[in-house]
Structure 1
Amino acid sequence: EKLGMPHELVWRQPFPGPGLGIRVIGEITEEKLEIVRDSDLILREEIAKHGLDKEIWQYFTVLPGIRSVGVMGDGRTYDY
């Protein structure tokens, strides 16, 4: 900013950088890429909402290659 560069350029996160594939551990599928896109959007919105987007140099989400058990409504889920 001191050099007169646009605010949007100075503070943008380097996403997707070399590609979404580096954020998926294991087999890369369209479903997994969509999960990473969605999770990245949620993370960026939360960081900005709390005013941390200029405090944290770089942040990103990663999808591990394992599924986990969770609860959704009255049932269990087994998903990413």
Structure 2
Amino acid sequence: GYEKSTRVIRVSLGDTVLVDGREADIQDGVIRVAYVNRKEPAAPGRTPTGLDSRAGLWLAAGLAAAAGMALVFALLRKRSDS
């Protein structure tokens, strides 16, 4: 669900490593390149996935409701046992 980058990255190797003309950020032998990726909007008629669908929010709400109900039942059972 992300847009494909059309960016061309030029890497020059010599005494120093240059990425697009600037000295590279190298950590543990890995050249790091900053890139901001944008999500594609859902196509018309296509069901959004991931955060677009808010499935995580519904799942969290359902789990919170189930935990609350379990707590209420445990308290009622404890009360009836006393």
Q: Which has the higher contact order (CA 8 A, sep 6+)?
A: 1
Q: Flag the structure with larger Rg.
A: 2
The structure whose residues are more often strand, as a share, is 2
TM-score, structure 2 as length reference = 0.28
